[in-house]
Amino acid sequence: MKIFVEIKKLAGEFAENKDIAKEIRVNQIMPMLADDKVVVLDFSGVSGTTQSFIHALISEPIRQFRDVALEKIEYKNCSGIVREVVKTIYEYMQESFNFETYEE
């Protein structure tokens, strides 16, 4: 079963409000993943976003659910900017999996 989350309705045309990202994460993404559902983040109408918004949206689900999150969160109608930012977070979150504490 796929659950659709329309980002524009919640965060506007330029998604930058981390408090809203957190609300979506806590109230929608995390419970859906825990329930083994596919979450579709629909960015239709969102022209751009910030790294901190997308980080607040998906980093914790990726950290907590690992492969489940990587497979069960889908991204729809992404602009080039949204796509690049999501890819950035995917890269650094997966790099962090086995080395979570920075040491000099």
Partner 1 sequence: MKVTLSNSDYLRNFDRFISGLDFSNSEILYIHSHPKWINVHPTVLTLVVAMATRAGKHNVKFEKLTATSGSYLDRMGLFEFTDQPSPYKIHKKEETGRFIPITVIKNSTEQSKFITDMIPLLHLPADKTDAIKYTVGELLRNVLEHSGSSDGAIVAAQYYKKSNMIRIGICDGGIGIKKSLQQYWASNAKTDIEAIKWALVPGISGTTRKEGGTEDNAGAGLFFIKSIAQVARNYFMIYSGSGIFKLLLHDKRIEKPRLHPNPDDDRHSERNDAPYFQGTLVAIDLSLENKSEFTQLLAAIREVYGKAVRERKRKKYKEPKFI
For partner 1, the binding residue among 59, 69, 72, 73 (CB under 8 A) is 59
96 binds partner 1 (CB under 8 A): yes
Closest to partner 1 by CB, 4 vs 92, is 92
DSSP 13: S
Integer CA distances (angstroms), 79 to 13, 14, 63, 84, 91, in order = 11, 11, 25, 9, 18
78 binds partner 1 (CB under 8 A): no
Rounded CA separation 78/76 (Å)? 6
80 binds partner 1 (CB under 8 A): yes
CB of 40 vs partner 1, minimal distance in Å: 21
Nearest partner of 61 among 71, 52, 73, 69, judged by Cα? 69
42 binds partner 1 (CB under 8 A): no
89 binds partner 1 (CB under 8 A): yes
92 binds partner 1 (CB under 8 A): yes
For residue 99, the SS3 value is: coil
For partner 1, the binding residue among 6, 8, 38, 48 (CB under 8 A) is 48
